[in-house]
Amino acid sequence: MSRFRPEFHVRPEEAGWINDPNGLFFDEKNKKYYLFMQGNVKRGPVSGNIGWMWFESADLAHWVSRGVAVTPTEEGFGAGGAWSGSAFPSQGHDEPLLLYSCAAPWPSGLPQLLPEQQLCTSTFDPARQRYEPVSGNPLQKHPRQADPKQFRDPSSPIRALGVEPNAPGEAFLLMGTQYQSQAGVFAYSVSLPMSDAPHFHFESVLISQSMGPVKLPRGEKKNVWEMPELLLFPGDTRPALLKVSIDDEPRLDGSMSQYDVFIHGTGGVSSGKLAFEPGNWSRVDAGNFYASKVIRLPERHEKDTYLMFGWVREQFDPATPMEQDWAGVMSLPRFVSWDGEEPLVRPVPSLAKLRGKSHSETGVTVSTDRVTLWADVHQAEVLANVQFQGKNGTFELRLFEEADGKHAVSVFVRNNGEFGIDTTMASGPGWKGVSQGQLSETELEQVELDVFIDHSIVEAFVNGKVVTARAYPDEGHGWVSLTSTEEASVDVTMWEMSPTLVGDDGKDEFGLRTGYSMLMMLLAALVFLTVVWKMKLAFERYRTRICDQITKSVSQTKLGQRSASDLSKLERKIEVQQEDSWLLRNGSGDISEQLYNSMIA
3-state SS string for 75-105: CCCCCCCEEEEEEECECCCCCCEEEEEEECC
Query: Which whole number is the average pLDDT over 550-573?
Result: 56
Least confidently predicted of 217-226, 262-271, 327-336, 365-374: 217-226
Least confidently predicted of 138-147, 195-204, 235-244, 384-393: 138-147
**Cα dihedral value 398, 402, 407, 410, nearest 10:** -10
228 near 174, Cβ under 8 Å?
Answer: yes
What's 238's DSSP letter?
Answer: -
Question: What per-residue confidence (pLDDT) applies to 268?
Answer: 96
Question: Distance of CA 53 to CAs 29, 129, 243, 598, Å?
Answer: 22, 13, 23, 80
Question: What per-residue confidence (pLDDT) applies to 499?
Answer: 98
DSSP H helices in 456-496 = none
Give the total residue count for the chain. 601
Question: What per-residue confidence (pLDDT) applies to 601?
Answer: 46
| Dihedral (CA of 96, 101, 105, 108) sign | negative
Q: Which residue has the higher pLDDT, 441 or 288?
A: 288
The CB density around residue 190, as the number of other CB atoms within 10 Å, is 18
Q: How does DSSP assign 136-191, residue by residue?
A: T-S-BPPPTTEEEEEEE-PPPPB--TTS-TT-SEEEEEEEEEEETTEEEEEEEEEE
pLDDT at residue 562 is higher than 60 = no
Q: Which residue has the higher pLDDT, 466 or 444?
A: 466
**Which pLDDT band holds residue 147 (cuts at 50, 70, 90)?**
confident
283 near 437, Cβ under 8 Å?
Answer: yes
| Dihedral (CA of 109, 113, 114, 115) sign | negative
The mean of the pLDDT values for the chain is 86
Distance CA 551, CA 53 (A): 74
Share of the chain above pLDDT 90, in %: 62
Question: What per-residue confidence (pLDDT) applies to 551?
Answer: 64
Distance CA 252, CA 279 (A): 31
H/E stretch holding 35 = strand 32-40
**Cα dihedral value 575, 580, 585, 591, nearest 10:** -70
Query: Which whole number is the average pLDDT over 512-520?
Result: 47
Query: Which whole number is the average pLDDT over 33-60?
Result: 95
595 near 548, Cβ under 8 Å?
Answer: no
Distance CA 128, CA 97 (A): 16
List the one residue out of 186, 145, 153 whose CA is nearest residue 85: 153
Taking each helix axis from N to C end, the angle separating 564-579 and 591-600, rounded to the nearest 10 degrees, works out to 150
- pLDDT digits over 318-371, tens only? 666 667 899 999 999 999 999 999 999 999 999 999 999 999 999 999 999 999
Query: Which whole number is the average pLDDT over 439-461?
Result: 95
> Which parts of 193-301 are beta strand (E)?
201-208, 226-232, 239-247, 258-270, 273-283, 290-296
CB neighbour list of residue 479: distance below 8 Å, 6 or more residues apart? 372, 373, 374, 375, 376, 377, 398, 400, 401, 402, 403, 405, 408
List the one residue out of 333, 242, 289, 284 whose CA is nearest residue 26: 333
Three-state DSSP class for residue 414: strand
Question: What per-residue confidence (pLDDT) applies to 253?
Answer: 63
List the one residue out of 533, 543, 553 whose CA is nearest residue 588: 543
What's 501's DSSP letter?
Answer: B
**Which pLDDT band holds residue 217 (cuts at 50, 70, 90)?**
confident
Q: Which residue has the higher pLDDT, 107 or 187?
A: 187
Query: Which whole number is the average pLDDT over 476-484?
Result: 97
Q: pTM for the full model?
A: 0.83
Q: Which residue has the higher pLDDT, 526 or 276?
A: 276
H/E stretch holding 546 = helix 509-559
Query: Which whole number is the average pLDDT over 150-164?
Result: 94
